[in-house]
Structure 1
Amino acid sequence: MRPTRAKITDAISAIERCFLRNQDGTNSVKDSTDSLSITEMTELLESLRGSIQRAVSVEQTRKPEFDIFLLTFQRWLLTDIARDQALLCDLLLPILNEALPPSASITPQTAPFVEKTLQFVRDTILRCSVAKDLIGKHMIGRLVATAVCVHASTMLKRQALDILNSLLAKSKENKALLTSHTCLTDLDNLVHLLKNAGDVELQTQLVELLFRICPKPKQERLQFIDTLHLPKIFADIRGDYFHQDCRAFLNQLNAGNDGVLKTPKSFRLSHAECVLGDTTSSLTLNPPDGADSLWLDFNTSSLSILVMIAGGDILSIELAFSKVQRWQVESSAGAFLPMTPIRI
């Protein structure tokens, strides 16, 4: 007989209380006799599975079971007895998959479940002892489906790609899985997203993913990008100059964009000046100390000025087209380019 929702909630609440915090302020999990055994956690997962699946369905918009489930399992993974990889793969990961496309549709109601699931995978699953190839076997397809889902927000797509890149790093198994014949459709969808992302940072994540799975031998690299219909300049991207080479590739990929299309157009500049609204005051942006240029990206409804700052971080300033009266930029080569703002 399936437990009632009240019994499930009571059971999770009681289990959550087993994870007492130490009194020394370290926030580490106390290893007590109340800690759950692998058998007990397995039984709990099996009894909760139906409830969790219902919680992430379109019809159920607010379910505390899912939040408590993630919190409880997160704490349990920090205990010494949480070492059984089969438990994670056979029970936990299929439950998490239920919250991701194509099993779940992304709507305003279900988006929070998708976001919490991706955060849990990134912050907890990737940091535990489970091998990346086991996680990839269960989740790569769902992560790709999330990244290319037309209803997913840019933030959710970035989260999914961040996890995908982490799974591909130093994992031959996951790279082989994503480049296998059965995943060619997934790769085609990712390349299509690369051309229609409407967000430069998202494009950069996609280039990183393709860069990770691209073969090292030159002939194989050329064959790889030819299969995916990518410009051959992609084959010249190297790890030591990834950011610069990635920008050059994106600029070529976006050549001819008028700033209104979904794909952004980027310029490398030494100076940028904007006049906002009906005011006469202008906003002038120059490269930071130690840099000789900045980037100007034309997005769908705004322009984004990205400046590399100390430590490799990127400062991004977004300006909506409707607020820009006029702007002019000076290229790093010294040519002065007046531009007319595009009003959306």
Structure 2
Amino acid sequence: MNKLFTSPGYQALMALQRRIHAFTIEAAAELDSDIDQPDAPLWTSTYQYLAVAPLHGGLHVEYFGDIWEEPFQWALACLAEQDVADTLVSLAFTGPDEGANGTREWEFTPLLDSAVQFPRLRFLSIRPTAPEDHNISMIVRAGTIMEEGGEIARFAAKTPYLSHLTVPNAPDAAFFQVPLDHLSVLRIGGGMDTQGFIGNLADARNLPALGLLDFTECTELQFRWAESRAADAVTAFSSYQKLFSSAAFDRVHSMQLRNSRLSLEELQTLGALRPKLQFMVIQAAQGGYVSHFSKDVFPWRHLVQPDPGLR
């Protein structure tokens, strides 16, 4: 452990931490914010940080900040150094609910284009969209318009011992070509496109250790009326049936299904296919403003429900 704290990787992370802190100090000064005052608010525009903590003989690193300013680019450049990557066992990305045109786009492309590998990384999390968020978080390939473009697969390919993965949107089919022998927990946040995730998982052979699947249905379910949605925008019941009947699901002991449109009969049919599965349904879709209900611009009726305890 002592060698960890004197390693070049740890020193590089400490230097990055100080650099980001200096950036926030300068940003606060530009806003005439006196950070020495105990009642000064921690405005999100100046509240960015890199947290580093020892964990199981390696390091946990969490980046909290904006996605378009210099600190994020500095963080990607630092993580692309092999000395840094060699120290990491856990890596997380999060930040304030800020974006553009309703999206918060994480572009890891500079890091993924590098030759760096994460030989000890076991936990990787990029925060999914929360129900109260104004912006949909997503991983996108740089140079595209809101396209994931295989970036999650490229990130996973750099982590041979990854056991826990949380991402804000579904990966494309390339993800299922990456050997992920140790991945036991997989959480997929609700994005604008599931990219056929459930059907692709049913055919997968690269996740032999998968034990817990947490899957969130496409946000199109709450953002567009059914008649205006693309036919395959929301996962069909037949795709869930295929997954529950597949060998890829044999070792899965728990599934958390979020924001689905499946009926009671369909959910019970799936449960009967896997009677030993801990199968939980979670309905916590993104919120909407009451002032917009009367305009009928988005499906809002799921936000106004009767007492569920009434028979």
TMscore range, shorter length: 0.3 to 0.5
* Greater fraction strand: 2
Bigger RCO of structures 1 and 2 (CA < 8 A, at least 6 apart) = 2
Higher-Rg member (1/2): 1
* Greater fraction helix: 1
